[in-house]
């Protein structure tokens, strides 16, 4: 084989070589860990992995478990509200800061700083603020409005909303930062053309810019979605899963059984169920997108 | 090998062995004694170890679950600490089954642990005939703390000696505008309050039948139903802001006189001391109702991950010996709010509540273990889930009884 | 917008109004944290959450930084600061580089099977990381890097790869493919196009990635605890030891001060990064 053909061959391999870290991580770390987790969920492992096989017993136990059912239910509410609110608020904050306001550096930091702080302390602060005795309800009542009630955090059915509030507080700044980065990529010419055509600013944002931000919105959505599925330290810091187990989330259930309750088999079963739920929600989406992308690629070839 | 080389090798080995023998014992200890008072207590252990020529390497990790998980992960990863803190419980039985712990049988035999350790503690640290852990201290989880000022304001003149008297006192507190029961609404605290009702109202036999034997008949009994109902009745005396509250904040309510009574373990003394309050003067401590109330025992131990390194083994044995020494025991417990693991030592320097505890411990018939001593962590957790839901929601008591039977099954 | 500040209009008032209201909501907890950190424990016990401190004092701050007990040693959070730096720098630079490389490769070159790998990677991002600790401990022990700086950097690389790759892949997806094609026609190879064309264009997303990664790594607690080894324990371990206790007393003023101190580094990164959020740095590149 000639030297030039060899180098041409080698050069075609470069993209694959560049993806070696990705491949190694996916295959060894993620796939390996997922398969290991699956195997453990089919055993009776307590603190350490056991090599026995108990079939679907852990999954049966999981679905009989009232606390897990409540956690899944909470996940749905929490996920929907948290993602919607963070996306909306993050987008609005980005758009408004984009209006050449004065002190935008300070404002940006004010919205982003919650993300910098660990929930261990900020969760406790939210607990204090939302507590009817020491927090907001007490203050407002002292100011004169005697019938003001804001005791969601001690209410079985509404405590999950308080978790949403604290989480949105923490995440909106990051969404704002993502959106700002995306807005930077919007061509200045578009703004000039819009002004010439007399289109109001808000119209430009909604009808022109928002569609262009597609990939940014997708990124923000995925970042928030993974945060939802993994959310647990906000629950621990704010309510410890309470009152009772009313604000439990699947990740906290899994963590409790992984560490404190020394039942890694049940925890792994929970993780598998969570993964399967995500897969069930995401797979149709991915298929549609992949199909469209393949069609587009065929057209341009 | 020539004679010269062999001699050289032998001398070298002897020198190395001598070196190893000359190296001081070194113990890296993983523990969760992180707050000020706890750290001061841990320091007494470190000082005692140093006084015997050892080097204490401190690896503090907040929260028991995290610390134990770190210890286990490091054992698995081949980088184990010299010793690790666990509770006096069944938490470390799995580790023993995997053969991952060293035993300290010779230290126990030499110092006669089976002579001075209370039976409950002895059974926890002696597994399959070997001593796998050294107990550090004993806590009692079901003390009733009350604010003297609040009692005075409500016109309560005597300490309650039964649950009926307790409810009468709580009613008086409520009438005086004081929060009757200071409570932190976290699952472990609700479990603690339940155990207080079970041990004091149900009595020792029922307590053991439920916690140790997990007897479904006992759980379905009327006596146990009464325990559950009384437990739920206490919820009516708790203020609305209690869910999620840390136990320290509940103790603060007692300290400021805003609340009357708190059911909490003996570590609560630390909060009172920090606020410069004195037992007997500003606050009172009741270990239980009646002269035969069960004394619910909990505590911490140190376990020793398996190693064949002679220096590490020496360090472990020295640690086991130092921890159980009388002087160390008193020093540690005075800082920690606990009582020593042995009743054969002089405790006149400890505060009045601790002395009361030590006196009660001398009566073996009053000792029972906290649930962790009898239940696996998983069973314990499932039970706590049921109890905390019963406390916070309206659930028929029969359902709770059935849920508990399910939670405590094998 | 062409540089001139817009005139004073009702819409303008609305913009400022919204931003100020939002700022109030966002800053409220910080206010509570700051005032609590300046109060004494006696004052905190009184429970007046929003009241200003009677006699503000920096004692809690001093204690948090250098005196508070985090175990037998009482040296505050300062003890772990340099460890956190030593972990954070490689754990930020390496994942960003590899994320950019992955995103670039996935967006423009699309080798066969790469999208499948990416799909599995994204799915992996939904597994609670703690479930993966045991297998990773065994893996790292076998590789001999458990309880070391390499060990913790590897863990951060593994767990950040999904997000980093996603950020860059979606960012590059928004760049018109004509640009890439033109560069290839000009004779650019894989690495040249990456280093000379794509990376310089990626500044906004690199900033966002840096924000996310610095925050995530600096605030990481569990992985640093398990994988870094005793000599490399990050600041968050001291912070958690300070704040969290099962049966010990809680000094809330010190806790708040320690939290703010620990978050200082990510906050500085946010403040400094602001310079690169100025509009227009990429506006010209597209038209080239």
| Nearest-angstrom CA–CA distance, C146 and C228 | 7
Point out the residue among B62, B76, B274 whose CB comes nearest to the CB of C241. Answer: B62
Residue B1 has what pLDDT?
57
Backbone torsion region of residue B283, taken as left when φ is above 0, otherwise alpha when ψ lies between -120 and 50, otherwise beta: beta
Which pLDDT band, with edges at 50, 70 and 90, does B18 fall under? low
Residue A197 has what pLDDT?
84
Minimal C-alpha gap between B52 and chain C (Å): 18
CB of C134 less than 8 A from some CB of B = yes
Per the prediction, chain A carries an average pLDDT of: 88
Provide the whole-model pTM.
0.89
Which chain C residues are Cβ-neighbours of B271 within 8 angstroms? Answer: 249
Predicted confidence (pLDDT) at residue A212 exceeds the cutoff of 90: no
| Nearest-angstrom CA–CA distance, C222 and A245 | 24
Residues B262-315 have pLDDT tens digits of 999 999 998 898 889 999 999 999 999 989 999 999 999 999 999 999 999 999
Which pLDDT band, with edges at 50, 70 and 90, does A290 fall under? low
Residue C280 has what pLDDT?
39
CB of A54 less than 8 A from some CB of B = no
Task: Flag if A262 and B98 touch (Cβ within 8 Å).
Answer: no
Residues A119-133 have pLDDT tens digits of 888 998 999 999 888
CB of C288 less than 8 A from some CB of A = no
Task: Flag if A110 and C26 touch (Cβ within 8 Å).
Answer: yes
Per the prediction, chain C carries an average pLDDT of: 87
> What average pLDDT does this structure show over C30-38?
94
| Nearest-angstrom CA–CA distance, B210 and B199 | 11
Predicted confidence (pLDDT) at residue C43 exceeds the cutoff of 60: yes
CB of C124 less than 8 A from some CB of A = yes
Predicted confidence (pLDDT) at residue A272 exceeds the cutoff of 90: yes
| Nearest-angstrom CA–CA distance, A70 and A249 | 8
CB of A241 less than 8 A from some CB of C = no
Residue B17 has what pLDDT?
61
Which chain B residues are Cβ-neighbours of C134 within 8 angstroms? Answer: 73, 76
> What average pLDDT does this structure show over C136-162?
94
Of the listed ranges A190-199, B44-53, C98-107, the one predicted with least confidence = A190-199
CB of A214 less than 8 A from some CB of B = no
> What average pLDDT does this structure show over A210-237?
89
CB < 8 Å from C in window 72-111 of A: 89, 92-93, 96-101, 105, 107-111
> What average pLDDT does this structure show over A219-247?
90
Q: Are residues B246 and B381 in the same domain?
A: yes
Q: Are residues B86 and B156 in the same domain?
A: no
Chains that contact C by 3+ CB pairs under 8 Å?
A, B
**Residue ranges making up the domain that contains B389:** 143-294+370-407
* B14 domain-assigned: no
Q: At residue C46, what are phi and psi to the nearest 5 degrees?
A: -70, -20
Residue C250 has what pLDDT?
83
CA-atom Rg of chain A in angstroms: 24
Residues A57-88 have pLDDT tens digits of 999 999 999 999 999 999 999 999 999 999 99
Please report, for residues B125, B137, B284, the alpha-carbon distance to residue B320 in angstroms, rounded to integers and kept in the order given. 12, 13, 35
**Residue of C8, C48, C131 to mutate for A, most A C-beta atoms under 10 A:** C131
Predicted confidence (pLDDT) at residue B202 exceeds the cutoff of 90: yes
Which chain A residues are Cβ-neighbours of C142 within 8 angstroms? Answer: none
Residue C198 has what pLDDT?
87
Residue B179 has what pLDDT?
96
> What average pLDDT does this structure show over B365-389?
94
| Nearest-angstrom CA–CA distance, A255 and B187 | 15
Residue C281 has what pLDDT?
35
CB < 8 Å from A in window 125-144 of C: 125-132, 134-136, 139
- Highest mean pLDDT, choosing among B388-402, C54-68, C118-132: B388-402
Which pLDDT band, with edges at 50, 70 and 90, does C14 fall under? confident
Q: What percent of chain B has pLDDT over 90?
A: 83
* B13 domain-assigned: no
Which chain C residues are Cβ-neighbours of A282 within 8 angstroms? Answer: 123
Predicted confidence (pLDDT) at residue B379 exceeds the cutoff of 90: yes
Angle at A260 between CA A34 and CA B302, to 5 degrees: 120
CB of C69 less than 8 A from some CB of A = no
Q: Are residues B135 and B154 in the same domain?
A: no
**Residue of A17, A21, A273 to mutate for C, most C C-beta atoms under 10 A:** A21
Residue A244 has what pLDDT?
87
Pairing of strands B295-303, B83-87: antiparallel
Q: pLDDT higher for B396 or C187?
A: B396
Predicted confidence (pLDDT) at residue C287 exceeds the cutoff of 50: no
Task: Flag if A26 and C120 touch (Cβ within 8 Å).
Answer: yes
Residue B148 has what pLDDT?
95
Q: Are residues B276 and B382 in the same domain?
A: yes
Task: Flag if B271 and C249 touch (Cβ within 8 Å).
Answer: yes
Q: Are residues B37 and B123 in the same domain?
A: yes
Q: What percent of chain C has pLDDT over 70?
A: 92
> Which CATH number do you get for residue B201?
3.40.190.10
Task: Flag if A134 and B187 touch (Cβ within 8 Å).
Answer: no
Residue B14 has what pLDDT?
64
Q: Are residues B178 and B203 in the same domain?
A: yes
Which pLDDT band, with edges at 50, 70 and 90, does C277 fall under? low
CB < 8 Å from C in window 264-283 of B: 265, 267, 270-271, 274-275
> Mind listing the domains of chain C with CATH numbers?
81-250+269-279 (1.10.3720.10)
Residues A132-168 have pLDDT tens digits of 888 888 888 888 888 888 889 888 899 999 999 999 9
Alpha-helix residue ranges (DSSP H) falling in A117-263: 119-130, 136-142, 159-184, 188-197, 201-203, 210-212, 214-230, 233-238, 250-258
Question: In this structure, are residues C236 and C220 in contact, taking their beta carbons and an 8 Å threshold?
Answer: yes
Which pLDDT band, with edges at 50, 70 and 90, does C278 fall under? low
Which chain C residues are Cβ-neighbours of B56 within 8 angstroms? Answer: 72
Task: Flag if C226 and B73 touch (Cβ within 8 Å).
Answer: yes
CB of A257 less than 8 A from some CB of B = yes
Minimal C-alpha gap between A230 and chain C (Å): 5
Which chain C residues are Cβ-neighbours of A182 within 8 angstroms? Answer: 174
Residues C165-220 have pLDDT tens digits of 999 998 888 888 888 889 888 888 888 888 888 888 888 889 889 989 999 999 99
Residue C133, both tokens: 């600790």
Q: Which of B134, B85, B102 is nearest to C72 (CA)?
A: B85
Q: Are residues B182 and B304 in the same domain?
A: no
Please report, for residues A246, B302, C53, the alpha-carbon distance to residue C49 in angstroms, rounded to integers and kept in the order given. 26, 40, 10
CB of C223 less than 8 A from some CB of B = no
Q: Are residues B150 and B113 in the same domain?
A: no
> Mind listing the domains of chain A with CATH numbers?
1-38 (no CATH), 65-266 (1.10.3720.10)
* B156 domain-assigned: yes
> What average pLDDT does this structure show over C60-65?
92
Q: Which of B385, B377, B383, B399 is nearest to B198 (CA)?
A: B383
Q: At residue C194, what are phi and psi to the nearest 5 degrees?
A: -60, -50
Q: Are residues B91 and B189 in the same domain?
A: no
- Cα B313 to the chain's mean position, in Å? 26
Residues C79-120 have pLDDT tens digits of 889 999 999 999 999 999 999 999 999 988 888 888 889 989
Helix (H) or strand (E) segment spanning residue C198: none
> What average pLDDT does this structure show over B95-106?
95
Residue C42 has what pLDDT?
87
Total domains present in chain B:
2
Please report, for residues A128, A158, A159, A163, B240, the alpha-carbon distance to residue A153 in angstroms, rounded to integers and kept in the order given. 10, 7, 5, 9, 10
CB of A10 less than 8 A from some CB of C = no
Q: What percent of chain A has pLDDT over 90?
A: 47
**Residue of B34, B69, B270 to mutate for C, most C C-beta atoms under 10 A:** B34
Helix (H) or strand (E) segment spanning residue B387: helix B377-392
Q: Are residues B41 and B182 in the same domain?
A: no
Q: pLDDT higher for A6 or C117?
A: C117
* B18 domain-assigned: no
Q: Are residues B158 and B282 in the same domain?
A: yes
Q: Are residues B245 and B389 in the same domain?
A: yes
Predicted confidence (pLDDT) at residue C288 exceeds the cutoff of 50: no
Predicted confidence (pLDDT) at residue B323 exceeds the cutoff of 90: yes
Q: Is C288 exposed, middle or buried (0-12, 13-18, 19+ CB in 10 A)?
A: exposed
| Nearest-angstrom CA–CA distance, C271 and B45 | 45
Predicted confidence (pLDDT) at residue C146 exceeds the cutoff of 80: yes
> What average pLDDT does this structure show over C48-76?
88
Chains that contact B by 3+ CB pairs under 8 Å?
A, C
């Amino acid at each position: 084989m000639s030297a030039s053909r060899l180098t041409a061959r080698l050069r075609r391999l470069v993209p694959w070589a560049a993806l070696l870290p990705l491949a190694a991580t996916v295959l060894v770390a993620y796939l390996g860990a997922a398969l290991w987790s699956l195997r453990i969920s089919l055993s009776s492992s307590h603190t350490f992995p056991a090599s026995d096989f108990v079939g679907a017993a852990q999954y049966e136990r999981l679905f009989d478990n009232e606390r897990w059912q409540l956690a899944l239910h909470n996940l749905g509410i929490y996920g929907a509200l948290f993602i919607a609110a963070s996306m909306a608020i993050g987008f609005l904050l980005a758009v408004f800061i984009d209006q050449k306001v004065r002190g935008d550096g300070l404002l940006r930091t004010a919205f982003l700083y919650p993300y910098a702080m660990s929930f261990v302390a900020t969760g406790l602060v939210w607990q204090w603020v939302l507590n009817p005795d020491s927090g907001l309800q007490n203050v407002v009542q002292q100011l004169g409005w005697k019938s003001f009630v804001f005791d969601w955090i001690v209410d079985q059915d509404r405590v999950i909303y308080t978790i949403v509030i604290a989480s949105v507080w923490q995440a909106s700044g990051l969404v704002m930062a993502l959106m700002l980065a995306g807005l930077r990529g919007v061509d200045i010419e578009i703004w000039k053309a819009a002004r010439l055509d007399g289109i109001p600013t808000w119209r430009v944002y909604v009808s022109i810019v928002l569609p262009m931000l597609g990939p940014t919105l997708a990124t923000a959505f995925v970042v928030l979605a993974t945060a939802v599925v993994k959310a647990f330290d906000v629950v621990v810091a704010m309510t410890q899963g309470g009152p009772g187990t009313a604000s439990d989330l699947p990740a906290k259930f899994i963590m409790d059984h992984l560490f404190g309750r020394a039942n890694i088999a049940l925890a792994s079963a929970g993780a598998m169920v969570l993964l399967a739920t995500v897969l069930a929600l995401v797979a149709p989406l991915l298929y549609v997108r992949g199909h469209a992308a393949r069609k587009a690629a065929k057209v341009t070839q | 090998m020539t004679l010269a080389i062999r001699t050289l090798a032998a001398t070298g080995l002897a020198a190395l062995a001598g070196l190893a023998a000359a190296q001081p014992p070194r113990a890296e200890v993983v523990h969760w004694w992180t707050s000020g008072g706890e750290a001061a207590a841990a320091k007494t252990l470190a000082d005692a170890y140093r006084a015997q020529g050892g080097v204490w390497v401190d690896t503090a990790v907040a929260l028991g679950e995290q610390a134990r998980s770190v210890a286990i992960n490091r054992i698995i990863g081949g980088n184990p600490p010299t010793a690790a803190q666990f509770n006096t419980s069944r938490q470390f039985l799995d580790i023993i089954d995997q053969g991952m712990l060293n035993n300290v049988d010779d230290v126990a035999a030499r110092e006669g642990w089976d002579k001075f350790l209370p039976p409950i503690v002895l059974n926890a640290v002696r597994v399959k005939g070997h001593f796998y852990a050294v107990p550090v201290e004993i806590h009692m989880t079901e003390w009733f703390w009350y604010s003297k000022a609040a009692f005075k304001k409500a016109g309560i003149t005597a300490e309650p000696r039964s649950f009926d008297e307790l409810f009468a006192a709580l009613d008086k507190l409520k009438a005086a505008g004081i929060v009757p029961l200071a409570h932190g609404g976290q699952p472990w605290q609700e479990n603690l309050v339940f155990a207080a009702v079970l041990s004091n109202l149900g009595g020792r036999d029922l307590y053991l039948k439920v916690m140790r034997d997990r007897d479904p008949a006992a759980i379905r009994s009327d006596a146990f139903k009464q325990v559950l109902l009384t437990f739920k009745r206490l919820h009516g005396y708790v203020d609305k802001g209690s869910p999620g509250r840390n136990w320290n904040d509940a103790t603060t309510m007692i300290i400021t006189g805003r609340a009357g009574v708190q059911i909490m373990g003996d570590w609560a003394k630390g909060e009172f001391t920090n606020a410069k309050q004195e037992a007997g003067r500003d606050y009172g401590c009741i270990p239980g109702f009646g002269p035969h109330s069960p004394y619910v025992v909990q505590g911490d131990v140190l376990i020793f991950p398996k190693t064949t390194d002679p220096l590490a083994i020496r360090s472990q044995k020295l640690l086991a010996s130092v921890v159980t020494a009388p002087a160390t025991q008193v020093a540690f417990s005075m800082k920690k709010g606990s009582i020593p693991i042995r009743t054969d030592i002089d405790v006149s320097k400890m505060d009045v509540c601790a002395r009361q505890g030590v006196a009660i411990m001398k009566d073996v018939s009053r000792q029972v273990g906290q649930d962790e001593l009898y239940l696996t962590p998983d069973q314990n957790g499932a039970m706590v889930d049921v109890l905390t839901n019963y406390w916070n929601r309206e659930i028929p008591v029969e359902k709770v009884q059935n849920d508990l039977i399910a939670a405590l099954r094998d | 917008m062409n540089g001139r500040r817009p005139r004073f209009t009702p819409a303008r008032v609305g913009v400022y109004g919204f931003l100020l209201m939002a700022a109030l909501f966002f800053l409220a907890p910080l206010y509570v944290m700051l005032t609590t950190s300046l109060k004494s424990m006696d004052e905190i016990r009184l429970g007046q959450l929003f009241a200003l401190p009677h006699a503000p004092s920096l004692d809690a701050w001093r204690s948090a930084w250098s005196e508070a007990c985090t175990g037998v040693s009482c040296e505050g959070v300062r003890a772990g600061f340099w460890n956190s730096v030593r972990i954070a720098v490689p754990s930020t630079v390496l994942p960003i580089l590899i994320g950019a490389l992955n995103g670039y490769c996935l967006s423009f070159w699309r080798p066969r099977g790469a999208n499948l790998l990416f799909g599995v990677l994204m799915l992996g991002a939904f597994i609670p990381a703690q479930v993966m600790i045991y297998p990773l401990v065994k893996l790292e022990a076998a590789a001999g890097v458990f309880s070391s700086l390499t060990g913790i950097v590897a863990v951060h690389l593994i767990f950040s790869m999904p997000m980093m790759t996603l950020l860059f892949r979606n960012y590059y997806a928004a760049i018109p493919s004509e640009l890439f094609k033109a560069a290839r026609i000009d004779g650019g190879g894989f690495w040249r196009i990456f280093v000379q064309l794509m990376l310089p264009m990626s500044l906004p997303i690199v900033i966002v990635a840096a924000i996310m990664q610095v925050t995530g790594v600096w605030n990481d607690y569990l992985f640093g605890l398990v994988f870094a080894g005793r000599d490399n324990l990050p600041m968050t371990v001291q912070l958690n030891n300070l704040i969290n206790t099962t049966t010990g007393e809680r000094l809330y003023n010190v806790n708040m001060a320690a939290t703010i101190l620990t978050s200082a580094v990510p906050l500085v990164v946010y403040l400094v990064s602001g310079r690169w959020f100025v509009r227009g740095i990429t506006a010209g590149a597209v038209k080239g």
